Amino acid sequence: MRTPSEPAPPERRRLVADRGDAAVRLDAVLERRLGDRPDASRTRIQRWIAAGRVAVNGVTARRAAQRVPTAACIDVALPALPARLAPEAEPRPLVVLYEDAHVVAIDKPAGLVAHPSLGHPRGTVYNALLWHARGWAAGARPQLVHRLDKQTSGVLLVAKAAPAHAALLRALDQGLLDKHYLTLVCGRVEPARGELSWPLQRDPGDRRRMIAAAGGKPCRTRYALLGASRTPGDAVSLLTCELLTGRMHQIRAHLATAGWPIVGDQTYGPALRPVTGNHRLDALLAAFPRQALHAWRLSFPHPVTGERIAVTAPVPEDLAELLEVAGLLHEVGQPTSRPVGHGQT
* Secondary structure in 3-state letters for 63-125: CCCCECCCCCEEEEEECCCCHHHCCCCCCCCCCEEEECCCEEEEEECCCCCCCCCCCCCCCCH
CATH class given for the domain over 11-81: alpha beta
What confidence tens digit (pLDDT) does each residue in 165-189 have? 999 999 998 999 999 999 999 999 9
**Structural contact between residues 250 and 219, judged by C-beta atoms closer than 8 angstroms:** yes
| pTM for the structure as a whole | 0.75
Per-residue pLDDT, 2: 46
Closest CA to 227 of 262, 192, 273: 192
Q: Where are the domains positioned within the chain?
A: 11-81
**Catalytic choice (18, 21, 107, 149):** 149
Per-residue pLDDT, 83: 59
| Interatomic CA distance for residues 106 and 156, integer angstroms | 5
Per-residue pLDDT, 38: 72
**Structural contact between residues 235 and 229, judged by C-beta atoms closer than 8 angstroms:** yes
Q: How close are the terminal C-alpha atoms of the chain, in Å?
A: 41
Q: How many residues does the chain have?
A: 345
| 128 phi/psi in degrees, rounded to 5 | -70, -35
**Structural contact between residues 322 and 288, judged by C-beta atoms closer than 8 angstroms:** yes
Per-residue pLDDT, 36: 73
pLDDT in tens, the chain (345 residues): 444 445 567 889 999 888 878 899 999 899 888 877 778 888 999 999 999 999 999 999 999 999 999 999 999 999 887 655 568 899 999 999 999 999 999 999 999 999 887 667 788 999 999 999 998 988 899 999 999 999 999 999 999 999 999 999 999 989 999 999 999 999 999 999 999 999 999 887 787 889 999 989 999 999 999 999 999 999 999 999 999 998 999 999 999 999 999 999 999 987 677 899 999 999 999 999 999 999 999 999 999 999 999 999 999 999 999 999 999 999 998 554 443 333 344
Other beta carbons within 10 Å of 170: 16
> Is residue 265 annotated as a catalytic residue, yes or no?
no
Distances from the Cα of 234 to the Cαs of 103, 260, 288, 308, 329, in angstroms? 43, 12, 17, 41, 18
Closest CA to 161 of 180, 188, 137: 137
- Give ∠ CA 166-311-110 in degrees, rounded to 5: 90
